Amino acid sequence: MKFKEKFIDKYSKLTDFEEYKESVVRNFARKSIRINTLDYTIKEVKKSLERDGWLLRQIPWCRTGFFIEHSTGRRDIGNTKQHKKGMFFSQGAPSMIPSLLMNISGKAKVLDMCAAPGGKTHHLACLMNNKGYLLANEPNNFRKRILKLNLERCGVENVAFDSQNGEDYTNNEKFDAILIDAPCTGSGLIKGKIARTKKLLREWNPKITTKYAKKQRWMLEAAIKHLRKHGRIVYSTCSMEPEEDELLVDDFIKDHDDLSSIEGRSMVAQFAKPLVNKIANPTLKEAYTSEISNICDLDFSKLLSGEDRYQPNKSLQKEEVKKTPNSVIRKSVLGVFTALIQHPKLAKDRVFDLIRKDSRFLFLNDVRNFYKDNPEAVPSILFEKIENEKIKNLFGEALVSEIKLSVDDAKSMIEDCISLISKTEKDREEILKEKYNMQEITSAEKRELQQHILKKASMTEEDQILLKNLSSK
């Protein structure tokens, strides 16, 4: 199987490429079906198929979905009498998820913006129990005919049809929910030594990814104009490209979330809740929780635990932030991380040379060197490499920051933050001495102050007395 050099380069940064390559070669997509509950029960369809030698295994995330194989190894599930009768829809297991996320009822008004060949449209009709209003849009006439045939075969009655380009979609209607199963590169379908895999690998290139990403963003922009207040957009692709998925959605949300009202902030928090709950890494989960609390001005940790709904974060509102040296340092480090994550090429900036070899902030140079060597690297790779928990937390915060910086702003931020860190480092001894005199110094800070004094080429009498006192206490 032949992979392009650019493909290898990109996916080596996104995955363990050798493991990915092995997975692609050895795996085939499992056949799966979803039972047509508009006309049949799950029990009678299972019984009919099992009688003909088909083996069904429940798909965990879909009550009506089943992985299916035959006792003899045959795979032509589409040629069965049950399929012709409309007893089920042949559909990939992951493709069953988007419709479930729509969270709709039979009273809803729903738009499927990219409907053909009709699997998700049919699933929506089943979830709506053939009630409400379902508009299936498909601009390609040939694909539209297939869409209609599939929906007719399965007895869908609450559907109307439209034929507009999704990125230019315009009409006078507003919808409770909009599904965008967008056209994409299809890189998530690269499985096994089959003709489709070879075609996808042959056609893949960065320009195609960029082309699709622009089209997908236009679709989202068109969709939001037709969404009712409190409505829901579900966006999905069969691509593994971050530019078509998480990066695109992240930018779209940042541009459109209404964070100026309590209602808007609450909606964002509620939307984020199930997503954050799925994060396994506790450090990253904590970073997301902290960032969402700040963005939405509420205690998001309580919302996650079910203790509280929509309560503003009073501690954030009332407590005035004290500009202690530690808070200044923390914000400066956070600023450097944020700027580098968004503009990795700034790692070449000479301002990093201000960080002394004996500085506490040498880890910034480690991050800088990583980006100098890997300017296209996904930030999550670096996140996993950081061992110090405090630094990891700060990097996680920067990773989920909503602050969007231009190149010039990022460059200025790095310069300002490192200059501040360098100055703070120089003034650190005086700060520690003041804390000692005020009897507010910690054991760790005592040891730090001792090191500052011991590093001096010559000590004053005052230094000698202080060093003796620090050693005796």
How many alpha carbons lie under 13 Å from residue 464 in its C-beta half-sphere?
5
| Pair type for strands 175-181 and 227-236 | parallel
Backbone angles phi, psi at 455, to 5 degrees: -75, -15
Q: Which residues have C-beta within 8 Å of that of residue 304, sequence separation ≥ 6?
A: 273, 276, 277, 289
Residue 278, amino acid:
K
Burial of residue 299 (number of CB atoms within 10 Å: 0-12, 13-18, 19+): buried
What is the DSSP secondary structure assignment for residue 30, as one 8-state letter?
Answer: P
Annotation says 238 is catalytic: yes
Angle at 205 between CA 204 and CA 207, to 5 degrees: 130
The two tokens of residue 55 are: 């083996």
Q: Interior CA angle at 87 toward 84 and 88, to 5°? A: 95
Strands 88-90 and 159-162, sheet pairing: unpaired
Where are any strands of DSSP class E within 78-170?
88-90, 109-112, 133-137, 159-162
Report d(CA 8, CA 4) in Å as an integer.
6
Q: Which residues contact 345 (CB under 8 A, 6 or more apart)?
A: 371, 375
Peptide bond into 117 cis (omega under 30): yes
CB neighbourhood size of 261 (10 A): 9
Q: What are the backbone dihedrals phi and psi of residue 230, each rounded to the nearest 5 degrees, phi first? A: 70, 10
Question: Residue 156, Cβ neighbours under 10 Å: how many?
Answer: 24
Spell out the residues 6+ positions from residue 98 whose beta carbon is closer than 8 angstroms to its own: 120, 179, 181, 234, 236
Catalytic site residue from 126, 184, 238, 417:
238
CB neighbour list of residue 50: distance below 8 Å, 6 or more residues apart: 56
Transcribe 405-470 into DSSP letters.
--HHHHHHHHHHHHHHHHHHHHHHHHHHHHHHHTT---HHHHHHHHHHHHTSSS--HHHHHHHHHH
43: exposed, middle or buried (Cβ count in 10 Å: 0-12, 13-18, 19+): exposed
Catalytic residues: 238
